[in-house]
Amino acid sequence: MSSFANLELIRSRLQDEIGTLRREAQSRVALVYPSPYHVGMSSLGFQAIYRIINETSGWACERAFLPDDLDAWRKTRMPLVTYEGEADIGSFPVVAFSVAYELEVTGLIDCLELAGIPALAEARGPEHPLIVAGGPLTFSNPLPIGPFVDVVLLGEAEELVPTLLQAVAGSTSRASLLTTLAQTPGFWVPSIHQEQLGPIGSADDTLLPARSQVLTPHTELRSMFLIEPERGCSRGCTYCVMRRSTNGGMRLVSPDVVLGHIPAEARRVGLVGAAVTDHPKIREIVRRIVDGGREVGISSLRADRLDDELVGLLARGGYRTLTTASDGASERMREQIQRKTKEKHLQRAAELARAHGMRTLKLYEMVGIPGETDDDIDELVRFARELSKVLPLALGVAPFVAKRNTPLDGTPFAGIREVEDKLERLRKGLRGVAEVRPTSARWAWVEYVLAQGGLEAGRRALTAHRAGGSFAAWKKAFADGGGRRKQLRVVS
Ligand code: SF4
C-alpha cells in the first residue's frame, strides 16, 4: 500500500457518503474512532458528536479512523489523516476519541502514535493537541485510558462538548484549561483527579434524539439511518451499565419527533437504544417506518415485548433473522441477575419469527456468571435443542465481565479454563443442532482486567501493546493481576 492508496480509499468512501459536513471555522477538532471506518460509522454516538461539534459556533469537525490495515498504513510512513481535509491529526488543536469498549485502548494508542503524538499524556507538551475522550466506555470505567488523554467527557456528551469547546477557545494555557475543566461537572482530568471519577453527564431531554449525520454503504449496517427513540433503560439487570440507576432510567422520544428526523433519502432506518422495544409507542414507530416503504432494524429486541404485531412489522421491514438475548444460561441464573426473560418468551419469539417467514433465530447468552454450574449450561443445551426445532438457531455466547457502576462490579472473572470448559460443554451438547459463536475467553479476560483496572492498567496495556499485543503479552503485563483501581464502588 502507498500513501496514494491510503488517500484513494478515503476519497472513494467520501464519494459514497451522503451528509458529509464540510465547514469552514476558526478552530477544528479531529474526531477519531479507534477502530476502522466500518465500525466507527456504525456508531450513533460518533455520528451525533460529529454533528454537534460542527454546530458549535467557531468550530468545525473532521473525522479520522484507525486504518483498516494498520501494518500496511505504517509502512507508508504517512501520518493519520482526517477524511474531510486529509489533514494530519497532529496539526489539530483538539483530537477527540470516541471509545466504545475496553479493548479499543490499543486502537487509541495506535492512532496517537501514527499521528506522531506521544501516547502518554505526561510525555506531551502544550505544542501537542489537547487529547480528549468520551463514548460508551465512560459510563463504566474510563480509568485505563487515563494515562493517554488530557480530559475525558463522562457519560452523555451532548452538553459537555460545547462546554469543552468554549473552554478551549477561552483558555490562555493548557494548565489553566485543565484546571477549569477539572472543576466542571462531567469532566475527568486524570492528571488532577487521578482515580476519582465524578458523576457522569446527562443531556437535557430536549437534545434527544441522537441520530446519524452521514449515510454510507461501507458499514455493516449499509446506509442505515440510525436514530435513538429512547435513551437508557428502566429495567434492573445487575450486570448492565445502562440499568435504571443510570441517568434516571428510560427517556422517551415521541413517534412524531422520531419520524420527523428521518431524511427522505434514508431507505433503511435503525432504531438504537438500550431497550428500544420497551418504548410504549414502538409499534407505532415501526409501523410508520415500514408503511413508508423503508426497511427497519432494532438494536435491542426484548423477547418479553415481542408479539404478533411487532414481529409481523419487523418481517415487513426486512427482518430475516430475529435477534434477541436471554443472557443467563438458565432460569435460575436469569433470576439471579434480575433478567426478566423466561423460556416461554423465547419460545414464543421463535414461533412468531417462524410464522412470519424469518429464517433464523439468534440468541445472545452470557456464561461464567457467579454461581453458575454445569447444570445451568445443561439447561441451556436442553432449551436450545427445543428452540432449534422451531427455527434454525445461532447462539452468540459472551463470557461475563463485571463492569463498574453495576451491582456486580468487583465480581471476579470465572477463569479462562473454566469459561472454555463451559463453551466446550455447550458446543458438544449442541453439535449438529445449533451454531455456537463464542467470544474468546482469553480476550474476555483482557477486557476484565481493563474493566476492573485503574490508571496503572492503562500503563500495562501500553506495555502489552508494545510487546506485540498478543494474549501472551497481556498475560505477562498483568501477571500479578495488578493495575486494579483503588476503589471498587458497588451500586445497587
Ligand atoms: S441488559 Fe438490557 S434490559 Fe437489562 S438493564 Fe441493561 S439495557 Fe435494560
User: For the residues of 231-248, what is the DSSP string, one character each?
Assistant: ES-S---TT-TTSTTSTT
Q: What is the pTM of this model?
A: 0.95
Is pLDDT above 90 for 29?
yes
- What pLDDT, on a 0 to 100 scale, did the predictor assign at position 272? 96
Q: How many other C-beta atoms are found inside a 10 Å radius of the C-beta of residue 384?
A: 24
- What pLDDT, on a 0 to 100 scale, did the predictor assign at position 490? 34
Contact 201, 156 (CB under 8 A): yes
Is pLDDT above 70 for 14?
yes
d(CA 398, CA 395): 10
Q: Is 233 in the pocket of ligand 1 (CB under 6 A)?
A: yes
Mutate to test the pocket of ligand 1, among 228, 238, 239, 240 (most ligand atoms within 8 A of CB): 240
Cα 240 to middle of ligand 1, angstroms: 6
d(CA 203, CA 348): 37
Q: What is the mean pLDDT of the chain?
A: 95
Over residues 101-119, the mean pLDDT reads: 98
pLDDT tens for residues 396-455? 999 999 999 999 999 999 999 999 999 999 999 999 999 999 999 999 999 999 999 999
Over residues 329-334, the mean pLDDT reads: 96
Is pLDDT above 80 for 489?
no
Over residues 303-327, the mean pLDDT reads: 96
Q: Provide the 8-state DSSP code for 173.
A: S
Q: Are strands 187-188 and 130-134 parallel, antiparallel or unpaired?
A: unpaired
Q: Residues 6 or more apart from 398 whose CB is under 8 A from it?
A: 364, 365, 366, 367, 438, 439, 444
Q: Is 446 in the pocket of ligand 1 (CB under 6 A)?
A: no
Q: Is 243 in the pocket of ligand 1 (CB under 6 A)?
A: yes
Q: Is 237 in the pocket of ligand 1 (CB under 6 A)?
A: yes
- What pLDDT, on a 0 to 100 scale, did the predictor assign at position 123? 98
d(CA 136, CA 156): 8
Cα 100 to middle of ligand 1, angstroms: 17
Contact 144, 134 (CB under 8 A): no
Q: Provide the 8-state DSSP code for 118.
A: -
Q: Whose CA is nearest to atom 4 of ligand 1?
A: 237
Determine the atom of ligand 1 nearest the C-alpha atom of 278. 3
Q: Residues 6 or more apart from 317 whose CB is under 8 A from it?
A: 286, 289, 290, 294, 295, 296, 297
Determine the atom of ligand 1 nearest the C-alpha atom of 236. 5
Q: Is 274 in the pocket of ligand 1 (CB under 6 A)?
A: yes
* Architecture (CATH level 2) of domain 3-193: 3-Layer(aba) Sandwich (3.40)
pLDDT tens for residues 133-178? 999 999 999 999 999 999 999 999 999 999 999 999 999 999 999 9
Cα 302 to middle of ligand 1, angstroms: 9
Determine the atom of ligand 1 nearest the C-alpha atom of 232. 7
Is pLDDT above 90 for 2?
no
Q: Is 103 in the pocket of ligand 1 (CB under 6 A)?
A: no
- Structure-block grid coordinates of residue 162: 460545547
Q: Which fold has domain 313-452?
A: Transcription Regulator spoIIAA (3.30.750)
d(CA 46, CA 31): 8
Question: Domain map of the chain by residue range?
Answer: 3-193, 223-300, 313-452
Q: Provide the 8-state DSSP code for 277.
A: G
Mutate to test the pocket of ligand 1, among 233, 241, 337 (most ligand atoms within 8 A of CB): 233
Chain centroid offset of residue 327 CA? 18
Angle at 275 between CA 291 and CA 386, to 5 degrees: 90
Cα 239 to middle of ligand 1, angstroms: 8
In percent, the amount of the chain with pLDDT more than 90 equals: 94
Q: Is 337 in the pocket of ligand 1 (CB under 6 A)?
A: no
Q: Is 444 in the pocket of ligand 1 (CB under 6 A)?
A: no
Residue 1: pLDDT band (50, 70, 90) is low
Q: Whose CA is nearest to atom 5 of ligand 1?
A: 243
Cα 325 to middle of ligand 1, angstroms: 10
Cα 274 to middle of ligand 1, angstroms: 6
Over residues 310-327, the mean pLDDT reads: 96
Question: Can 3-193 and 313-452 be said to share one CATH topology?
Answer: no
- What pLDDT, on a 0 to 100 scale, did the predictor assign at position 83? 98
